[in-house]
Amino acid sequence: MPELPEVETVRRGIAPHITGKKITGLTVRNHRLRRPVWSGLARALSGRRVQEVGRRAKYLLLTVDGGCLLVHLGMSGSLRVLTRARPPGAHDHVDFLFGGRLCLRFCDPRRFGCMVWTARDPLRHPLLRDAGPEPLGDGFSGATLFRKSRGRSGAVKSFVMDGRVVAGVGNIYASEALFRAGIHPLRPAGRIGKARYDKLAFDIKTVLAEAITAGGTTLRDFVNSAGDRGYFTPRLQVYDRAGLPCPRCSRPLRRTVSGQRSTFYCGGCQR
């Protein structure tokens, strides 16, 4: 599933092409996404101008005059900037049409993505109103993690992946940040001190920023707005590397399951 760096990569890729442009039409070929595409979406968007392409957590926010479209890429979704003349494929479900033959095309083979229209403040929408602070913003710090972790007995990896604690940190980057911080992913969140949370917050910010610069991580499906794969994959130190030597101590990296997600770590370096 695309995580924050992948969604931010898509945002940066599409924003220069569509910001300030008027949507001339919308073609919906398949309404059956994770949430059914509203039948009135074409009417709601047609003729409106894109004011901003933003992001909150793992959602893209296409703000137009009079409302906002919340877009989630799901497990396999992508948004690509194309010319309208290109024939759609089997999984190309939605086209946003602009003048000059410009098209923003949503492709989603697994159909776990969604598009939700709101005429109100999108940050107060039920999908976003409980989201935690942005990890790359000023509202996120080790003190935030320390305060929210008190009394929690669950694993720290599940804790930092909780979108109400911090927005947008998924499985890949939680594993990578915990390795950099030297924290075992199964350690109870409430048994980690302030100094270690300061280090973890720093490493979360660092790994996310590095991944954005590299265009995200492609393990299976992710491509950016130009159809290119992410280039952070070779820089992963633990994720999906079970059995390979730890880059620090050379012990074999391990895999376990935590919160129904594969978790990768070094039993020697992470405590």
- Residue 199 falls in the annotated catalytic set: no
User: Alpha carbon 85 to chain centroid distance?
Assistant: 30
Q: Is residue 205 among the annotated active site residues?
A: no
CA distance 85 to 149: 52
Catalytic, out of 11, 56, 58, 180: 58
Report the C-alpha dihedral over residues 124, 126, 129, 131, rounded to 10 degrees: -150
Q: Identify whether 58 is a catalytic site residue.
A: yes
Answer yes or no: 2 catalytic.
Answer: yes
Catalytic site residue from 2, 5, 135, 185: 2
Query: Of 3, 6, 8, 176, which residue is the catalytic one?
Result: 3
Which residue is catalytic, options 110, 187, 248, 261?
261
Active site (catalytic) residues:
2-3, 58, 261
